[in-house]
Amino acid sequence: MAKNSVKMTIVNKAQFDKRLNSHTHEVHRNLKRAVRIAANETRNTAVVSILQNARAGGESKRSNPSRTVRVSAPGDPPASDTGFLASNIHLVMDADGMGAKIESRADYSAALEFGTIDMAARPFLQPALEQGRRKYERMFAKAVKDGI
């Protein structure tokens, strides 16, 4: 079960299908491709933001094994220690291909994304989506336009 996720879906799909009935197949094919590309790019942006967080907030001592690690500053993406968070960000396509979910399956994902009473947020999924939002909106509009 996903602890933290971002979902992308075509809104009013039934109404959309009805209005573009004669072009449905081509438009659907284009939109499925656009959804897959946008979701993959969002996932990849989130992973890279964790693995390449150059604006780390400082250092912290850890044990088992004993080591010093980079920690992220509040508001920055989390800094990677073991790579577990980054390796547990998965893309799940809807069965019809018209939506996708990017899930972070690490049990502490929500605490990092939204913060806790004791820790400020270190968001990584929502900023990844926001970074590409305008590009994805143009991509979806082009997918429809090219299909009709």
pLDDT in tens, 63-101: 777 877 777 888 899 988 888 999 999 999 999 998 999
Inside any domain, residue 88? yes
Inside any domain, residue 92? yes
Residue type, 133: R
Which of 41-45, 60-64, 136-140 is the least confident region?
60-64
Neighbours of 144 (CB within 10 A): 17
Whether omega for the bond prior to residue 77 falls within 30 degrees of 0, making it cis, is no
Total count of domains within the chain: 1
For residue 60, what pLDDT band results from cuts at 50, 70 and 90? confident
Task: Tell me which residue range forms the domain holding 62.
Answer: 4-13+31-147
Question: From residue 41, how far is each of 44, 128, 147, 148 by CA, in Å?
Answer: 5, 8, 22, 26
Inside any domain, residue 44? yes
Inside any domain, residue 25? no
Inside any domain, residue 139? yes
For residue 54, what pLDDT band results from cuts at 50, 70 and 90? low
pLDDT, residue 2, reads: 60
Are 121 and 74 spatial neighbours (Cβ–Cβ below 8 Å)?
A: yes
Positions of E strands within 1-148:
4-9, 56-62, 67-72, 89-93, 99-104
pLDDT, residue 18, reads: 72
Inside any domain, residue 19? no
For residue 58, what pLDDT band results from cuts at 50, 70 and 90? confident
Inside any domain, residue 26? no
Answer whether 0.75 is exceeded by the pTM: yes
67-72 vs 56-62, strand pairing mode: antiparallel
Give 116-139 pLDDT, tens digit per residue: 999 999 999 999 999 999 999 999
| Averaged pLDDT for residues 18-28 | 72
Q: What phi and psi values does residue 113 have, to the nearest 5 degrees?
A: -65, -40
CA angle 44-42-120, nearest 5°? Answer: 90
